[in-house]
Chain A
């Protein structure tokens, strides 16, 4: 089973963990069927009064066929989801060193604050007079983001990082249009997140790659060489995806400005520099901020995120609806062109309502808790921890870019595995057996077999030391005789390696009733 890339082709029966049980369960590791296999359409876990059967106003549109939705009674539902939850790794349960994803601690105070009825139980279209406190929070989170980044304004509505990118690039497009410029090309370094070229292409920009230098950075001379009359913007991640602060970022910004273009900075790695350096000071025109990374809102198994985008003086006027304007110390909500004042030229609307309010309240609680001093300390600790991991591993692992200090994450390549037969993927899967979530693998694409490690500021030194010791042990084992620790990994997780090729070849994306025999 599985192909040569996916590894194990046969179960490893000699392992004690393979001992059979009657149920197929192993103590706390319990199999759980699908709701469609255990539920019934007539079962419900919600008690509702019986309808009185009044006259219908549905016209001819009443539903005709059954829906086929199983229900579970409350105890069954609780057990189903609790059992499923136990098949997940989480930051609450262990170190989660996913580079570029920032799996830091998610404070529970944030959760409590987001659930205050005054925030959670408020409708986005209530009269503005009944949601003054909600607007205060939107404005205050915005004020912090503007101050921390040294920018002019912020658009709060983007729903996630990639959505914030879209907002920033739309603002740039609107600004180019307003100046009557036809500059359809966007420069994107090869090391960029995949969202950068995808975002630019989505709104009709042509993407032109800029090479990364051998030291992992982008050089102003390469940017200048790529700039011509048609270039309207540059998208650069800083600190970059190799975990390096771009040393020439200010010069690069100046070069794109001199050519009449704009500088979009991917703010995914802002968490390395909060309170240390302000993107506005190195020439950024637009930058999204992943509240779920830098400001600790939970990742929730893949969202929801939030991606407010800060804007420079040059782009502030183009912030989309709805936005909040401060007037005499009070926030004013501008939802449509009827509320726009002179000098404001919003480019349109990105989403139905005001953005991810539930994430704003969490981020607000996080920012208030840390304060200016704590935010700076958190950045420093994140950078310190990444460099500590690097120092403790660099004799056994291979650093593609040894000439620059790391920021909040350290990038290794797979040269240290050369000739061992062990791949980055195998190494990552072996980490699972040791109780760790793997680091980010095979990203960024500019190095071979990338391993991007981001420990974050949330780990104690003891936790980092155990992690480092584990990775060292694995690195040495990879060079040893017995490769099964890698090739068969993971052995102790709820599932062994999954056959992704099979999943993609004949996609089964929905449960279907087994056909009657």
Chain B
């Protein structure tokens, strides 16, 4: 093979101009995302020294190499793709076009236009994990700021660069607690979101760990302290819980610590932390949260962003990426991914987790939204959510036959109805165009809780929306 001399930049520019600008008639597939022309392809094959492209697939057994196109549609222009996708989108009812009270782990909040604009900056959107820190300081500084925001919000000492979502973060928290305590039994409160409990239970089942899952804590009177014993590695408690009730975590932390166990606190609505005591102030050892509420759309369930915070002494047992401060060769402050000896690409089967990504862009959206809000904005947003929820809870509670189960709540509460909640939700959606909430039976089928409805009220609801919900429920029962 002949050696190639280095080509000067100017030569290449000229060479590039020689390429015909008109679409090459020989081009097999006109495809807007593929820059190579048929002429390029022929030249490249010649340079490689092979007859055709299939010569490069020589290691594929001949009988496995496809000799036909698969039974799928052919390439389409942008306009046609938009038409197809738009038709699917039009079949869905959007949260912004209906009086909307659906929560239970994902919440409709207003996201400032600035957030979505900034996360679409090419340099954030189309960058990889910051493994080359000299040219990814933008992402790294954002992660350092994000970690600090999350830690402060939770009143914890350290937070990681994010997890896939809150539920998978909860699974990882249990595994982390097992590593720290060298015990393999998790106690799950009956107020924990059932999907989170199922994620933990699935992981534990596969790893042959033990899970003690308490019955749905409808009345708010579960005796979780009695479930914590010397075998317990951690107790997982959500506050506000899935029914909306705010839980006093301090006595649970105290009991857990007394027997050498950890308290894993779960938050599915982070806006609540603008109004209520943070888990870190109540003795939580690990806090996991769903961060979707800030910066991220509902998006039919994902992608979201898991928040994960812990005590400094446990940092080396944390899963996920961590960004740390350092200096460069000139002594300037800079940031790098650090403590990677915990991670799979170094430790392989001894890693703390198999996680190899975070939720980078969703964490960025979270961080920008929280920066725009600031403490003043977050606390005000929380107060608005709370008072809107109080208004609806009071009005619903005044309807004969409807009972609000919560003594305390933030922006979500549970009502007991004299009718089947799922049927009511379906009826209001179909007849009134109102999305009234999440029937408990959707989350806990077969639990005999068919008359319970979880109602979330955020700043996005108008006074008219709230009145419409109350009137519709009053009418329907």
Whether B383 is near chain A, meaning CB under 8 Å from some CB there, is yes
Bound together, the chains give a CA A40 to CA B364 distance in angstroms of: 19
Bound together, the chains give a CA A60 to CA B142 distance in angstroms of: 35
Q: Are A498 and B302 in contact (CB under 8 A)?
A: no
Whether B205 is near chain A, meaning CB under 8 Å from some CB there, is yes
Whether A494 is near chain B, meaning CB under 8 Å from some CB there, is yes
- Nearest chain B CB to A351's CB is how many angstroms away? 5
Contact with B along A223-252 (1 / 0, CB 8 A): 000000000000000000000111100100
Q: Are A121 and B373 in contact (CB under 8 A)?
A: no
Whether A507 is near chain B, meaning CB under 8 Å from some CB there, is yes
Q: Are A70 and B347 in contact (CB under 8 A)?
A: no
Bound together, the chains give a CA A377 to CA B28 distance in angstroms of: 9
A376 neighbours in B (Cβ, 8 Å): 69
Q: Are A194 and B345 in contact (CB under 8 A)?
A: yes
Q: Are A462 and B16 in contact (CB under 8 A)?
A: yes
Whether A413 is near chain B, meaning CB under 8 Å from some CB there, is no
Name B338's contact: one of A65, A490, A503 (CB within 8 Å). Answer: A503
Contact with B along A357-385 (1 / 0, CB 8 A): 11101001101111111101110110111
Whether A78 is near chain B, meaning CB under 8 Å from some CB there, is yes
Q: A86-B138, A392-B47, A458-B35 are in contact. Are A472 and B4 (CB under 8 A)?
A: yes
Q: Are B276 and A62 in contact (CB under 8 A)?
A: yes
- Nearest chain A CB to B417's CB is how many angstroms away? 16
- Nearest chain A CB to B137's CB is how many angstroms away? 4
- Nearest chain B CB to A435's CB is how many angstroms away? 10
Whether B262 is near chain A, meaning CB under 8 Å from some CB there, is no
Name B138's contact: one of A87, A353, A396 (CB within 8 Å). Answer: A87
Q: A85-B124, A86-B123, A119-B300 are in contact. Are A351 and B199 (CB under 8 A)?
A: yes
Whether B398 is near chain A, meaning CB under 8 Å from some CB there, is no
Q: Are A354 and B202 in contact (CB under 8 A)?
A: no
- Chain A's interface size range is 35 or more
Name A437's contact: one of B90, B132, B425 (CB within 8 Å). Answer: B132
How many A-B Cβ pairs are below 8 Å? 758
B370 neighbours in A (Cβ, 8 Å): 69
Q: Are A1 and B57 in contact (CB under 8 A)?
A: no
Whether B356 is near chain A, meaning CB under 8 Å from some CB there, is yes
- Nearest chain B CB to A436's CB is how many angstroms away? 10
Q: Are B138 and A84 in contact (CB under 8 A)?
A: yes
B391 neighbours in A (Cβ, 8 Å): 54
Residue with the greatest number of chain A CB neighbours at <10 A, chosen from B31, B58, B201, B281:
B31
Residue with the greatest number of chain A CB neighbours at <10 A, chosen from B196, B351, B357:
B357
| Chain A residue nearest in CB terms to B161 | A302
B321 neighbours in A (Cβ, 8 Å): 302
Q: Are B132 and A371 in contact (CB under 8 A)?
A: no
Whether A281 is near chain B, meaning CB under 8 Å from some CB there, is yes
Whether B308 is near chain A, meaning CB under 8 Å from some CB there, is no
Q: Are A372 and B135 in contact (CB under 8 A)?
A: no
Q: Are A466 and B326 in contact (CB under 8 A)?
A: no
Q: Are B112 and A490 in contact (CB under 8 A)?
A: no
Q: Are A368 and B383 in contact (CB under 8 A)?
A: no
B195 neighbours in A (Cβ, 8 Å): 349, 351-353
Interface residues of B in 360-397 (CB under 8 A from A): 360-364, 368, 370-381, 383-384, 386-387, 389-391, 393
Q: Are B118 and A197 in contact (CB under 8 A)?
A: no
Chain B interface: which of A100-108, A309-317, A415-423, A478-486? A100-108
Q: A357-B300, A497-B134 are in contact. Are A126 and B93 (CB under 8 A)?
A: yes
Whether B286 is near chain A, meaning CB under 8 Å from some CB there, is no
A510 neighbours in B (Cβ, 8 Å): 144, 147-148, 151, 157-159
Name A277's contact: one of B66, B84, B158, B459 (CB within 8 Å). Answer: B66
Name B298's contact: one of A7, A121, A381, A508 (CB within 8 Å). Answer: A121
Q: Are A46 and B112 in contact (CB under 8 A)?
A: yes
B343 neighbours in A (Cβ, 8 Å): 194
Whether A308 is near chain B, meaning CB under 8 Å from some CB there, is no
Q: Are B126 and A58 in contact (CB under 8 A)?
A: no
Name A301's contact: one of B72, B130, B203 (CB within 8 Å). Answer: B130
Residue with the greatest number of chain A CB neighbours at <10 A, chosen from B5, B299, B378:
B299
Chain A interface: which of B224-232, B253-261, B401-409, B468-476? B401-409
Whether B24 is near chain A, meaning CB under 8 Å from some CB there, is no
- Nearest chain A CB to B405's CB is how many angstroms away? 12
A257 neighbours in B (Cβ, 8 Å): none
Whether A300 is near chain B, meaning CB under 8 Å from some CB there, is yes
Interface residues of B in 231-258 (CB under 8 A from A): 246, 248
Whether A260 is near chain B, meaning CB under 8 Å from some CB there, is no
Q: Are A300 and B89 in contact (CB under 8 A)?
A: no
Whether A221 is near chain B, meaning CB under 8 Å from some CB there, is no
Q: A160-B357, A244-B59, A352-B167 are in contact. Are A116 and B86 (CB under 8 A)?
A: yes
A144 neighbours in B (Cβ, 8 Å): 72
Q: Are A87 and B141 in contact (CB under 8 A)?
A: yes
Q: Are A59 and B344 in contact (CB under 8 A)?
A: no
Q: Are B126 and A298 in contact (CB under 8 A)?
A: yes
B137 neighbours in A (Cβ, 8 Å): 84, 87-88, 494-495
Q: Are A45 and B112 in contact (CB under 8 A)?
A: yes
Whether B78 is near chain A, meaning CB under 8 Å from some CB there, is yes
Whether B419 is near chain A, meaning CB under 8 Å from some CB there, is no
Q: Are B302 and A304 in contact (CB under 8 A)?
A: yes
Contact with B along A127-139 (1 / 0, CB 8 A): 1011111101100
Bound together, the chains give a CA A160 to CA B430 distance in angstroms of: 35
Q: Are A136 and B91 in contact (CB under 8 A)?
A: yes
Whether B267 is near chain A, meaning CB under 8 Å from some CB there, is no
B31 neighbours in A (Cβ, 8 Å): 369-370, 374, 377-378
Residue with the greatest number of chain B CB neighbours at <10 A, chosen from A118, A162, A245, A369:
A118
Bound together, the chains give a CA A298 to CA B357 distance in angstroms of: 13
A199 neighbours in B (Cβ, 8 Å): 354
A70 neighbours in B (Cβ, 8 Å): 371, 374-375
Whether A42 is near chain B, meaning CB under 8 Å from some CB there, is yes
Q: Are A113 and B326 in contact (CB under 8 A)?
A: no
Bound together, the chains give a CA A89 to CA B167 distance in angstroms of: 32
Residue with the greatest number of chain B CB neighbours at <10 A, chosen from A48, A321, A347, A499:
A48
Residue with the greatest number of chain A CB neighbours at <10 A, chosen from B60, B116, B300:
B300
Q: Are B92 and A133 in contact (CB under 8 A)?
A: yes
B374 neighbours in A (Cβ, 8 Å): 39-45, 69-72
B158 neighbours in A (Cβ, 8 Å): 509-510
| Chain A residue nearest in CB terms to B56 | A405
Q: Are A90 and B123 in contact (CB under 8 A)?
A: yes
Q: A1-B331, A245-B57, A369-B33 are in contact. Are A109 and B82 (CB under 8 A)?
A: yes
Whether B467 is near chain A, meaning CB under 8 Å from some CB there, is no
Q: Are B393 and A48 in contact (CB under 8 A)?
A: no
Bound together, the chains give a CA A405 to CA B371 distance in angstroms of: 50
| Chain B residue nearest in CB terms to A463 | B35
Interface residues of A in 327-371 (CB under 8 A from B): 335-338, 347-359, 361, 364-365, 367-371
Name B35's contact: one of A10, A127, A460, A495 (CB within 8 Å). Answer: A460
Q: Are B74 and A384 in contact (CB under 8 A)?
A: no
Name A355's contact: one of B302, B341, B356, B408 (CB within 8 Å). Answer: B302
Interface residues of B in 155-186 (CB under 8 A from A): 155, 157-159, 161-162, 164-168, 175
Bound together, the chains give a CA A2 to CA B159 distance in angstroms of: 26
Q: Are B36 and A381 in contact (CB under 8 A)?
A: yes
Other A-B contacts than A300-B360, A496-B330, A510-B151, 18 sampled, CB-CB below 8 A, are: A1-B328, A113-B85, A121-B108, A123-B102, A160-B164, A198-B348, A355-B302, A357-B302, A359-B303, A368-B81, A374-B31, A378-B34, A387-B44, A396-B3, A438-B132, A457-B36, A473-B6, A502-B326
**Which 8 residue pairs are nearest across A and B when measured between Cβ atoms?**
A71-B374, A118-B89, A353-B301, A348-B202, A300-B361, A133-B91, A124-B301, A304-B303
Query: Would you give 13 A-B contacts (Cβ < 8 Å), ordered by A?
Result: A9-B329, A68-B152, A103-B126, A118-B88, A119-B89, A126-B435, A298-B361, A301-B360, A302-B358, A349-B198, A472-B6, A498-B133, A511-B145
